[in-house]
Structure 1
């Protein structure tokens, strides 16, 4: 199943389970009614920012918008990124999607040289756990700025604006876990 179809099905399913009209969904998410309708039909490929707005407005995890049906045991092999923002030189590989029993989701992130990601605030009391596996990253959280090198890790409150920037040469490889309390 393509990512557009998966997103379309999940957005519509979540909206209907919460008994939210398209008009109310637009008000909750800040995404226009027509854009939401196009997303639910699979007619558009929403950006990372739009997916975050929908997830936050619906008060669900980011990966719940993209996930397939879960299995008990899963081996995740090297796959193509589900989100590839060529303009910002940012690749996102959702490795483990949100699970109601575990309350987290996990990603493998690659930021090419000169690449950035401006992240919208996640749900209240959410936390991010970051580990740099290769390269150098500048991570800003609110007014704080951190420079992380290979092997460094960072935990921060993710319910505020934050951004990631490749602060070195070559590709920066990051493991990201988002925990929802």
Structure 2
């Protein structure tokens, strides 16, 4: 995350509190959520207590098992104007630190989320399958990327866009020596 230690700790505590609230609303134990998400009971407890900073992969597994969009794990202020500046907000990294996302916006009753994504040079990212019937739209803002969707490969250059069902296997590969920057929209089927 690009925030200072105190701000980062606040976000981690906030995610933990939201997770605990959502889990209790469903009347699930940590064990129930662990079985559904594939995230260990110990790790879930640590997340709820704000004792660990979860990775993107963990958050995807948790949100999918709760049947909620990823950004529902974060508080979203209601305002008629929202501003998102690159590099100034929350930044979540993958386990290998080669992929990071900055949540930008969440809209329309949790039906859509927008992110800035960064893929490091000479690396690949293999995301979790998203919620059933989710559509992913990606636009390359800088660089060139290879996107694989269900064993089909697509090379996208700057400002190229692609749309696909994200509940299947897909991956991003950056074979260049530059960071690739993408804008990604997830549209959830409600």
Please list, as runs of the form range in 1=range in 2, the aligned pairs for 1:5-154 lying within 5 A after superposition.
5-78=13-86, 79-85=88-94, 87-97=96-106, 99-100=108-109, 103-154=111-162
Aligned partner of residue 28 in structure 2, secondary structure: coil
- In structure 2, relative to structure 1, the CA distance for the partners of 1:146 and 1:103 (3 Å cut) is same
| In structure 1, C-alpha distance between the alignment counterparts of 2:90 and 2:144, rounded to whole Å | 21
RMSD, matched Cα: 1.8
TM normalised by structure 2 equals 0.87
Q: CA deviation at 1:99?
A: 4.3
Unmatched tracts of structure 1, length 5 or more: none
TM normalised by structure 1 equals 0.91
1:23-79 per-residue CA deviation (whole Å, 9 max, x = no partner) reads: 111111111111111110011111111111101111111111233433332111231
Unmatched tracts of structure 2, length 5 or more: 1-6
Task: Judge which range, 112-121 or 171-180, deviates more.
Answer: 112-121
| In structure 2, C-alpha distance between the alignment counterparts of 1:145 and 1:125, rounded to whole Å | 21
* Count, aligned residues: 180
- In structure 2, relative to structure 1, the CA distance for the partners of 1:112 and 1:80 (3 Å cut) is farther
| In structure 2, C-alpha distance between the alignment counterparts of 1:114 and 1:64, rounded to whole Å | 32
